Amino acid sequence: MCASLRSDGLLQLDVNPGSHSSLPQVKEAIEAIGKAANGKCYPLLVVAGKDSTIDTESMAFVSKKDADPHSVAVAFLICSISQKLLGNFYLNFNKPLKPTRIFTNLEDAVLWLREFRK
């Protein structure tokens, strides 16, 4: 996973294709997001690589408000039916406390996240 601050004021986390994120990997990703954010808060775009997944323990963890103190809203950009199912499960079962949406189109995700820039 790689986190960076984009020129448009959004944080972006790229998830490696085929990866399965468990809690240790999620905590590493949050640490990388923190470094990219440099102590500030930004809207976060998570770009899910092809066939990437996350386990239920990690979904429960990231749904908490303070799991990632560097993001104010999260957009997940997905590319498969299985990711859509995981995303819908996450939104409906874990009910994340930060504004969170699932997208299949990059432009729509970026447009929505721009509403949360300070």
Q: pTM (2 decimals)?
A: 0.93
Q: Residue 10 has what pLDDT?
A: 97
| pLDDT tens digits along 37-69 | 998 999 999 999 999 999 999 999 999 878 889
Domain limits for position 15: 2-114
* Cα–Cα–Cα angle for 91, 88, 18, rounded to 5 degrees: 110
Biggest CA-to-CA distance, the chain? 35
> What total number of domains does the chain contain?
1
CATH number assigned to the domain comprising residue 63:
3.90.190.20
Number of H helices, E strands in the chain: 4, 7
